[in-house]
Amino acid sequence: MDNINIDTLDNIHLDVLKEIGNIGAGNATTALSQMINKKVDMSVPKVRILEFKELSDILGGAENQVVGILLAVEGEIKGMMMFVLETTSAHNLVNLLMGKALNTFEEFSEMDLSALQEIGNIITGAYLSSLSSLTNLRIHPSVPHMAIDMAGAILSVPAIEFGKIGDKALLIQTGFGEGEHKVFGNFILIPDVKSYGTILTSLGITA
Partner 1 sequence: MNDKIKVGMADLNACLSPGILTTLGLGSCVGIVLYDPLKKIGGLAHIMLPDSTQIKNNSNVAKFADTGINKLIDDMVRLGASKNRLVAKLAGGAQMFSFKTSNDLMRIGDRNVEASVKILRRLGIKILGQDTGKNYGRTIEFYTDTGDLFIKTIGKENKII
- Compare residues 41 and 74 and give the one whose CB is closer to partner 1: 74
From 21-29, 37-45, 117-125, 154-162, give the range in contact with partner 1 by CB under 8 A.
Answer: 154-162
Q: Does position 149 bind partner 1 by CB under 8 A?
A: yes
Give which of 170, 195, 129, 172 is closest to 18, Cα–Cα. Answer: 172
CB of 24 to partner 1, least distance (A): 21
Rg of the Cα atoms in the chain: 17
Per-residue mark of binding to partner 1, 90-129 (x: CB under 8 A):
----------------------------------------
Q: Does position 164 bind partner 1 by CB under 8 A?
A: yes
- Compare residues 17 and 146 and give the one whose CB is closer to partner 1: 146
Identity of residue 168: K
Q: What is the bridge-based pairing of β-strands 183-191 and 168-178?
A: antiparallel
* 64-67, long-range: CB < 8 A, 24+ apart: 64/150, 64/151, 65/148, 65/149, 65/150, 65/151, 66/148, 66/149, 66/150, 66/151, 66/154, 67/116, 67/146, 67/147, 67/148
- Compare residues 129 and 156 and give the one whose CB is closer to partner 1: 156
Q: Please report, as ranges, the residues that interact with partner 1 according to CB under 8 A.
A: 51-56, 61-63, 65, 70, 72, 142, 145-157, 159-161, 163-167
